[in-house]
Amino acid sequence: MNDRSLIKNKVAQIPTLLREFNIDCWISFVRESQFMGDPILDYILGADVTWYSAFIFTVAGKAHAVVGQYDVQTVKDVAVYGSVDGYVTDFGKPFLERLQQINPRKIAVNYSEDSEIADGLTHGMYLYLKRLLKTIGYDDRLISAEPIVSALRERKIAQELDRIKSAITATEEIFVDVRKFIKVGTTEKKIASIMRNMVRQRNLDFAWNEEICPSVFTGPDTAGAHYTPTDLKLEPGHLLSMDFGVKVSGYCSDLQRIHYILDKGEIEPPASVQRGFNTLIKAVKEARKLIRPGSRGEIVDRTAREIITSQGYEEFPAGLGHQVGRFAHDGTALLGPLWEKYGSKPKQLLREGMVFTIEPRLEVPGHGIMTVEEMVVINKTGAEYISIPQKELIIIGNSNLNSS
């Protein structure tokens, strides 16, 4: 799939978003983007720039770029900018001339207190930009571009969804393929190593840091998710969870699957384990029913959280679900509680095209942590699974393996 085609289609979304948020001009302002890059560049350029560079979008549907002379052809090749002004010694002159031609009432730039994906403008660059704009009396027109940046990343187009679905399919295949290697006595590290080799054999990328992708955790004494797999061995009567995702053409998956290792004499999981699993699945199902355009993540999270705690389990220590896109954790809107650390994210309205995980969590004493993670996309009326939801525990015997 051609990234220039994707960039063209994403840029085509921008005028509509500017109108929606009543903003007549948005600027992404960067320099030395290879190591000081704004995450939004993947959507509007797909390349790196060196000197001070401004990408200007207007509510009238015009796109302009002011970049160093050596980057002019790179920007022109993307074929979405109606004008590309190059400079050698002075960025300010062509930039201010272009901006005065537009004469915007508001100038949105990429800073945000709550959303990391909309906070790509460094403080130094903000001060420099404000000083430049003061020379023409525009410095009081700056506002946060969080609504625009968030919407552009969150509202997936068909090309983006296709890539995410491909990543999900590959992840699900690896989950199935690794089962034949899962046996009592196998370590978390060994399982993770096998899965990483499967990723490499498929010429795929990891959805996050390879050291913890996958996260493999088993038994009641595990460090849990977001930690490097250890030398802990799979033992009878323990739960095994795997948190895993891959990246296909720049887009990620993020899924978790839960297994139970039969203890001596068992032919099925004990009642406490099955009860935990049933509670998780109910939380996922009920949460999905509430995910729809116009809803808020705090409401979805609260419903799943109450299902877990009503059964006597402790409240899980994180949000119910996050968005997925170019990163495994992407987007601003969150399925989460109104905790201080999440800022306004759980209050954001859910919109069509957003891709979310649903990942409740609980602990079954003596057996370990139990978690599942599914992925859904919001359509016009609700949310549909784009992963194949786990409906039953995956059962691992002492000497052989059978899957539900």
pLDDT(403) > 80: no
User: Over pLDDT 70: what percentage of the chain?
Assistant: 97
pLDDT(170) > 60: yes
Domains of the chain: 3-153 (3.40.350.10), 155-396 (3.90.230.10)
**Tens-digit pLDDT profile for residues 109-121:** 999 999 999 999 9
To the nearest whole number, what is the mean pLDDT of the chain? 95
- Report how far Cα 66 is from the mean position of its chain's Cα atoms: 30
Task: State the pLDDT at residue 38.
Answer: 95
Task: State the pLDDT at residue 400.
Answer: 43
**Tens-digit pLDDT profile for residues 219-258:** 998 766 667 899 999 999 999 999 999 999 999 999 999 9
Please state whether beta strands 361-364 and 368-371 pair in parallel, antiparallel, or not at all (unpaired): antiparallel
**Tens-digit pLDDT profile for residues 52-100:** 999 999 999 999 999 999 999 999 999 999 999 999 999 999 999 999 9
Task: Measure the CA dihedral 170/48/212/350, to 10°.
Answer: -70
Please state whether beta strands 142-144 and 107-109 pair in parallel, antiparallel, or not at all (unpaired): parallel
Task: State the pLDDT at residue 398.
Answer: 65
Can you give the pTM of this predicted structure? 0.95
Backbone angles phi, psi at 285, to 5 degrees: -60, -45
Task: State the pLDDT at residue 221.
Answer: 84
pLDDT(399) > 60: no
pLDDT(1) > 50: no
The packing angle between helices 92-102 and 123-134, to 10°, is 70
**Tens-digit pLDDT profile for residues 111-154:** 999 999 999 999 999 999 999 999 999 999 999 999 999 999 99
